[in-house]
Structure formats: C-alpha cells, structure tokens
Structure 1
Amino acid sequence: MISRRFFLTSGLASVAATTALANAPAVSLRPVARDPASLISAGGGLKGLLSRAGLSGEVACAVADVKTGLRLEAEGAGAGLPPASVAKALTALYALDVLGADHRFTTQIVATGGISGGVVAGDLVLVGGGDPMLNTDTLAQLAKALKAAGIREVRGAFRVWEGALPQIKSIDPGQPDHVGYSPAISGLALNYNRVHFEWKRAGQGWAVTMDARTKKYRPEVSVATMKIAQRSLPVYSYSEGKDTDRWTVASKALGKGGARWLPVRHPGAYAADVFRTMARANGIKLPAPKIARSRPSGQVVAHHNSPPLDLMLKATLKYSNNLMAEMIGLAATQARGGRPRTLKDSAGAMNRWAQATYGMANTRLVDHSGLGEASRVTPDDMVSALVASYRDGRLKPLLKSFPMRDSKGRILKGHPIKVAAKTGTLNFVSGLGGFMTATDGTVLAFAIFSADQKARSRISRAERERPQGARSWNRRAKQVQQKLIERWGRVYGS
C-alpha cells in the first residue's frame, strides 16, 4: 500500500539512512536520493519481511499517520487475532471515556448502629468500592483511623460487603489454578487478590507461611492454607472450602526455599481476615467476619480513596495487571448502566462502545485484560482507536516506553526511533500496539498481532504456565515487531 505522501515527497532517503539502524558503514557514503516507491518494495516489501521472519502461525499488522489517519501499510489488517494484553489499551480508553481521569474508588468502614463511649452498638462493615489497588497498608490505615475516632468495641457483627462488582472466581478458568495473574474478582480486592506463600528449610522438612505482605506488614492469614504433600507432581493442587482456599504443594518441588504469590478465590473473606488482624493491632477486637448480602447504610467512620483513574491506568498498562484492567472495565460498564454478571457480558458492552466510538466493527473481546484466548481484534480496528486517541491526547501519556534492542536482546539506548506502546503476551501469542516517533519527528500509530493458534491449542491446562517452545516463539515474534517498526521508521519517517 503506497500512500499519497510518497508521491508528494522526493529525496526522502539515502543509503546512510537505510543502514543507520544496523551497523555503521565502514566508509563514508554520500547521500543518494532514492525513489520513494523503492523504499517500500525493497527486499520484497512488507510481505518479504514477514516471509523471511519464518514465524509460524499468522502475523497481521497495520500502520497509519496519526495526523491524517491514512493507512500507510498493512498485511492482514482485517484478520481478527488474540490481542493479549494490548486489549488493556482499549480498556483504558473505555474507562477514561466513561468514568473520567479524576475518578476514584472509595473503600469505607461503616457503623450500622450508634456509637457511644467508643462502642459500636450495631455492626461494623468493611465496604468495598471496587478499588483494585487496595493493599494491606491501606487496611492498616483504616484500622488506625478507627482507633483515632475512639472506637474500641463492636457489639454487633463484623461484616464485609464486596457486591460493588460481580463476583467471579477466576479471570480465565482455563488457566492453571495456581497462577497469580488469574485471581478472583469482586468489589473488594486486596493485594491484587493474591496471597504470599513462602517456604524455608526447617530440619528435615519445611516451614511454610501464607501472608498478606507488603514492605511494611506481613500479617498471616487463615483463609488460605498450605499443606506439603509427599509427591513430585502436580506441583500444586487446590480445593475450595467455605470462604477458604486450600492448597497443597509437592515436597519434591520445594528445594531449599522460595516464595510465590498465589491467587485468592474468596476476596471478601481475605480482606476481612487481614482487616481484623490490623484492628486487633490497634486495640480493637472484632468478631469473626460475616459476608454482607446487601450494601449497608449507616455512619461512615473511616474511608480511603484510591489514586485518580489516570494514574491507576498508567500502572495497569505499565505492569499489565489483569485484575486492575478487569475491575476498572467492570466499573465502567456499570457506570454506563450495565449489569454484567460475567466478564464476557462487560466486554460485550465495551465492544459495542468501541464500535460506536471508533468504528471497531470487528472487535470481539471476552474480557478487559486480554487474558481470555477467545478475544479477537483486527489491526485495522486497533489503529483506528489509536489514531483517534492520539488526537484527543488521552492514551499516549499512559503508555510505557518500548525499548528497541539489538540482535542479542540488549536495549539500544540511542536508537533514533522512539516507541510508546502496550505489549501483549500469551503462549504463542504476541501483540504490540501504540505509537512510534521516527527520526524526522513523524508519529505513526501501529498494531501488530501474531499468533500460532495450532501450537496454542496443543497445550494442556497444566502446561500453560511454561509450555515447551512458547518462550522461543514469543522471542521471535518480538523480533518481528522490531523489524516492522524499523521498516516503518525508515520508509515513512526518514
């Protein structure tokens, strides 16, 4: 695809320019003007580049000028492929449009009865407000606020309400039980709904702990338990109790010691467990927690506001946090009047919004994080959203820098092309979408999706954490992405 700009421009490139992104020439070269079309077709053009890459599966891509929206080049731009975490960029735009950059989520402590002499006559309720960044430090602050308010006793029950968002046991049930990137969802999340499991050698065995740690606190929890089983495989097994997560780990897998974060399946019970510990540390004894079935009314005795949404989205995109994307996406759907029961329901609402807002007629997401393998986005749809978002200035400041690398994977600090983008990685799936600024200052929007769905379909559920061949495939896919970016910088921005 040859753009209008190439017929209006002459002398765009030189031999020196085409070698600047590889190795410096051995001798000084005089600039030699080239026909613009020759830059596009050199080496077989875009098709030749993709063919030489030898990446199994499909690669689809599109690139456009952000000022005009003109598509400069594309291959399979109408093919719907799994976007992986590139989907989070669309979720960010959705949330900004619906909730606004200054939106905050509020967690409250509510007393349902009167307070006299430091005694709450009714219930004390931990009320979740959908804050995906709530952590143990926050609960410690809320407990201190209760103490500062003079509260020392609760005559009624201690309850927890997590109904601000639907309760979902796992972001993607197809993932192994033990992976921390697919926890449960509800209106109350603590430490991204993960519990810290640590083991250390103790005599002939191991000492294990399950806690809700941060840098400042390490409260042990009772709602998640771990037992060591005398076996080699599976490494982990999970069973669900009443408001508890029961884990076992294979003794043969423990070695001398280690730690990892495990997903939490009962977020409300987990947060209540930790808050009860923090309250006790402040001299407030709370009874065993109960789950509240409806939002309580009463006096707000302490509260915590999350950071503003734009800062939360920046963190979501930087760390590619699945839980944050899902909770924020669900909150946006509910704010539009939707009543989603599942992530697919909420993603469907976002799909309709994307079509109405950006013309993304072929986007079929099943969640807000991109973890679900059934999601499909076309490069052309993604580029449409990127171009529009560049004009309103909302997305690019939230995206992290994507470093260019040499053939050994080392970052090239002085690379002339600057990229701000969202990456996406699943087993045998790799995506990249965002903005590149070429040497001459030209800004382009691009989307690249790669997937070997046959290889992915052969992976069993138990193998999904580290399947054979996936890491090397994804590494090659990232190399293709960089070659495409370098090509577009050389052809359309030098």
Structure 2
Amino acid sequence: MLTRRGALGALAGGAMAWTLPRAGWSQAATVRVGSVSDLLAAAQLSGEVGFAVVDPRNGKVLEAQGADRAMPPASTVKTITTLYALETLGSGWRFPTQLIATGPVSGGKIRGDLILAGGGDPTLSTDDLADMAAQLARRGITGVTGRYLVFGASLPYAEQIADDQPVYAGYNPAISGLNLNYNRVYFEWKRAASGYALSMDARGRTAVPKVYTASVAVAQRQSPLFTYKRGQGREAWTVAQGALGASGSRWLPVRDPVSYAGDVFQTLARAQGIALPTPERVGGLPQGTLLVERGSDALPVLLRDMLKYSTNLTAETVGMTATLRRGQTATRGASGSAMSAWLRGRMGGGTARLVDHSGLGTDNRIAPLEMAQAVVLLGPKAGLKGLMKPFALRDAQGRPTQAGPVQVAAKTGTLNFVSTLTGYVTAPGGRDLVFAIFTGDLKRRAQAIGVEDPPGGKAWIARSKILQSGLLERWGTIYA
C-alpha cells in the first residue's frame, strides 16, 4: 500500500516525512498555545476549531490544534474533488452536448428523430443552446418527421444535492446528465395595478426564453416563503405575498433539468424557424448522425471557476463523471464514498467520510490535517495553487484589509455555523505553507436545518473569518 511517507518521498526524492504519526494522527506537533489562545478568545466562537499548517517542502506540521478531529469541511471538499477529477479525467477533458439525427436530412427535414443529448456539462447555458439552434438552422434544417428526444442519462439523476437545504435554495438543484443554467430558473416579480406580474424564464446574456415547464403563483400567506410541487413534467411554485416587495427576482432550483432543457431548446429552435414537437425523454441514447456538438471549456477552466464561485453542480457532475470513468457506481452518496476510498488509497490511509463532491451535505467529515496533507501530497501535480482564488484577510473588526503581510490562495467553505478554509499562505519572504482551518458549531447548525438565514449565523461566520485571518497572519509572520 502507498504510505503517506512513501508517497511524499516519491515526490521529493525521499526527503519528506510527516511530523505527526499516521496512527490516530495524535498531535505530536508543537502547539503555540499563547497567541493561538488569544486569537480564539478574541473570536468568541462557539463550537469547535481545528487547524493544521504544514511545510510542503518536508511535510513538517508547524502548528496544529484539533487537527485529527473529523469535522464538516463544507465547500473545501471541492479541493478534493478538483484533485480527484484532474487525476481521473485529465486536464483535456471536456463535456459534450450534442444534437443527433436518427435519419438523413432531406428537403430541410430530419427524416427521423432529433435528439438533444447531454454529456454532463454543468456549465451549459441558454446562450449555448441558442447557438446550437442557430447552427442547426444554418444546415438548412426546419423540422423533423419523427420525434424530438432529450437524453440526460449520461449521469445518474438526483432530485437535489443535499436533503437539508431550503426548498428554494438555488445552490441545491437537481443533478443530471443534461443540465442548463446550473439547473436554475429565473423568477421575477413586479407589483402591477392588481396583484403582481410574475414571470419565469431561462435567461442568458442574449436570449431570454420563457419557460413552460415551471410556473409560479402568489399565495395569500406570510409563510412559508415558497412551496414546491412537481408532476407530469411541470414544476409548480407558490410564493408568499407577504414576502414580496414592489419588485425583485431570484434564481430557483430546477428538479427536472431534462424537461427544462428540452423545453428551452424547443423555444430557441422555434426562434430559428425550426419546428419541433413536444420533447420526449429517452433513457438510452439512440444511434445516429452528429449534427452539432458543443464542448465545454477544458476541465482546469471549469475547476478554477468552481473553486472561485463554489458552484455545487459543477462539483457534483465533475465528481460523478470521474467515478463513472473509474467503473464505479456514481449515484448520489455512492460517488462521494468512491472519492473517499480514492483519497485513502492515495494517502495510504485516513478517516475521510465524504457523501458528496460539493460539501453541501452535512454528513461530510474530514480532519483538518488530512485535508492539508492531501493538498501537500496531490496539489503540486494538479497545479492546485494556480486554480485557487485569492482570499482577503479581515482585520479585528471583520473589514477586508487593503494590503496584508501575507498572500493567501484558498478555497472557502460556508454552511450555517460552519466556516472552513484550506489552501496556501505565502509569507512576505516568499515561503509557501499549506493549511486547513475548520470551525463548526454543529449543535447550532442542527437547530438551523432548512433555514436560509438563521439568527446569529452571519455574525458567527464573520467571527470565524476574523479568526482565520489572525491565524494566517500569525503563520506568515513566524514562519516567514
């Protein structure tokens, strides 16, 4: 089995070794309790705090506290997903979306069926579909003699990423092999002469097609904010009138992305003079002739954006695709377990228990030291530091600092009463350190399940970020 010591030795000519022993990862590293205690006391943060900072040149743990305690990593799981996907799929991987004809084109008609086939692209947009419709029109196609089919079974379907989020959370949509606009629909309202004028569309930068597979109505109530019902290819929302102001908008999650994409493409094709019948879902991809193909950006670009904007759908589709490429079951939950097993294999052990690829699930667990060690061991080959975004340090009042003593490239993670950070801190002299900082109050989080903005939540997150900044400034100073 590949051990942690052996793997690092292979990377650095045998010169690297971890300070903490693998068995139990007990904290044998020096803990500088004085200044750390002051930072913790100033943060007044309820719950647990765990962190580790490691010298990537030799694997030495420079400072740690609670580092071997498994905690919820939130969106820092996307760091592991990035490493998993790049190793499995390679940097040249692109997700295809295709238009396929099952028969020849004659007299402007496809003599057979037209298939809109998704290849798992999480970034497919309305404008992309509009361009595909325009390409079809440029081939002289005006319709079909057969059916219009939509295929989204290239990835296992899941109605949502996590089960404990508000029903209206746009960051928690369905997962499918055919996705559109991150599987969100745009809801807009404006007070009219009598009641409200409501609309739902699939807006892009240039195209704003109406959506027919989703509807919304105003209900005479104060709460709940939204209700949702799905049936017969339609998604029906109601919104509480008491929560609406004069006007506004928000993205709502889509639970039936295959029907949604099929609906939108039909409208966009109609605008190009292409008449298509009602879309029909198909579970298997029929053989045919490729007419149009749209490829996503290359995988590193997708992952850089995922780490920057923390797009959960990208994490899930990329991770599930990697699991399928490894010949394993990629359903929700099973794919997260497969990534956990991969990580243990690459690290020579560990205790990570991951249930998804985005970190949205509450049951994800990994120790801060294990996260930091994964970055040290696997990050260089993946070019991980170059994919991470800058992190702005906060001063003691929580305000972003204009110019701090250290530079940070990291992935953040935020859930109700969970705030995490992992990545690279560069000291003024140019020395890189790898770190992971996890904070979480799971008791308060459990009390806020299904709540978008629980009382005290924002203040708790703000205090955690102040603590993170204090630790990063400390390490960048004393280990410069």
Alpha carbons 1:360, 1:381 under 8 Å: kept: no
Structure-2 separation of matches of 1:249 and 1:109:
36
1:408, distance to aligned residue in structure 2 (A):
3.5
CA shift digits 1:160-206 (9 cap, x unpaired): 00000001000012111111010001001000000000001110211
Which of 456, 459, 462 is equivalent to 1:472?
459
Alpha carbons 1:47, 1:75 under 8 Å: kept: no
2:357 matched residue in structure 1: 368
Which of 430, 443, 450 is equivalent to 2:432?
443
1:400 matched residue in structure 2: 389
Structure-1 separation of matches of 2:297 and 2:249:
29
Structure-2 separation of matches of 1:419 and 1:156:
56
Structure-2 separation of matches of 1:460 and 1:445:
32
1:149 matched residue in structure 2: 139
Structure-1 separation of matches of 2:31 and 2:180:
51
SS in 1 for 2:333: helix
2:5 matched residue in structure 1: none
For structure 2, the residue ranges without an aligned partner over 5 or more in a row are 1-29
1:20 matched residue in structure 2: none
CA shift digits 1:120-146 (9 cap, x unpaired): 111100000000000000100110111
2:61 matched residue in structure 1: 71
Q: 1:135 to 1:354 in 2, by over 3 A?
A: same
Structure-1 separation of matches of 2:277 and 2:226:
32
What amino acid is the match of 2:112? G
Structure-1 separation of matches of 2:185 and 2:39:
45
Structure-1 separation of matches of 2:395 and 2:435:
21
What amino acid is the match of 2:272? N
Structure-1 separation of matches of 2:394 and 2:224:
37
CA shift digits 1:345-404 (9 cap, x unpaired): 001110011111134511111100000000001011111111123432521100000011
Structure-1 separation of matches of 2:191 and 2:39:
52
Residues 1:134 and 2:119 are matched in the alignment: no
Structure-1 separation of matches of 2:129 and 2:375:
38
Alpha carbons 2:181, 2:202 under 8 Å: kept: yes
Structure-2 separation of matches of 1:198 and 1:221:
12
TM-score by length of 1: 0.89
Quote the sequence identity (%): 48
SS in 1 for 2:261: helix
TM-score by length of 2: 0.92
Residues 1:319 and 2:309 are matched in the alignment: yes
Residues 1:356 and 2:345 are matched in the alignment: yes
SS in 1 for 2:358: coil
Structure-2 separation of matches of 1:266 and 1:305:
22
1:439, distance to aligned residue in structure 2 (A):
1.3
Aligned length: 451
1:303 matched residue in structure 2: 293
1:9 matched residue in structure 2: none
Matches within 5 A, 1:318-337: 318-337=308-327
1:391 matched residue in structure 2: 380
Matches within 5 A, 1:427-442: 427-442=416-431
Alpha carbons 2:115, 2:149 under 8 Å: kept: yes
Alpha carbons 1:420, 1:435 under 8 Å: kept: yes
SS in 1 for 2:419: strand
For structure 1, the residue ranges without an aligned partner over 5 or more in a row are 1-38
Which of 426, 439, 447 is equivalent to 2:415?
426
* Greater shift in the superposed pair: 212-221 or 401-410: 401-410
Structure-2 separation of matches of 1:360 and 1:332:
21
2:20 matched residue in structure 1: none
What amino acid is the match of 1:273? D
2:330 matched residue in structure 1: 340
What amino acid is the match of 1:216? T
SS in 2 for 1:191: coil
Residues 1:286 and 2:276 are matched in the alignment: yes
Residues 1:236 and 2:226 are matched in the alignment: yes
1:69, distance to aligned residue in structure 2 (A):
1.1
Alpha carbons 1:433, 1:446 under 8 Å: kept: yes
Alpha carbons 2:321, 2:330 under 8 Å: kept: no
Residues 1:103 and 2:93 are matched in the alignment: yes
Residues 1:195 and 2:182 are matched in the alignment: no
Alpha carbons 1:87, 1:368 under 8 Å: kept: yes
1:487 matched residue in structure 2: 474
1:52, distance to aligned residue in structure 2 (A):
4.3
CA shift digits 1:275-305 (9 cap, x unpaired): 0011000100000010012012100111100
Structure-2 separation of matches of 1:466 and 1:482:
24
SS in 2 for 1:259: strand
Alpha carbons 1:171, 1:371 under 8 Å: kept: yes
Structure-2 separation of matches of 1:288 and 1:54:
58
1:382 matched residue in structure 2: 371
CA RMSD in angstroms comes to: 1.4
What amino acid is the match of 1:380? L
Structure-2 separation of matches of 1:141 and 1:109:
12
1:165 matched residue in structure 2: 155
What amino acid is the match of 1:94? Y
1:406, distance to aligned residue in structure 2 (A):
2.3
What amino acid is the match of 1:183? P
1:30 matched residue in structure 2: none
1:50, distance to aligned residue in structure 2 (A):
2.5
1:157, distance to aligned residue in structure 2 (A):
0.6
Structure-1 separation of matches of 2:431 and 2:217:
58
1:225, distance to aligned residue in structure 2 (A):
0.4
Alpha carbons 1:59, 1:451 under 8 Å: kept: yes
What amino acid is the match of 1:397? G
Structure-2 separation of matches of 1:324 and 1:284:
31
1:445, distance to aligned residue in structure 2 (A):
0.2
Alpha carbons 2:178, 2:261 under 8 Å: kept: yes
Structure-2 separation of matches of 1:394 and 1:203:
57
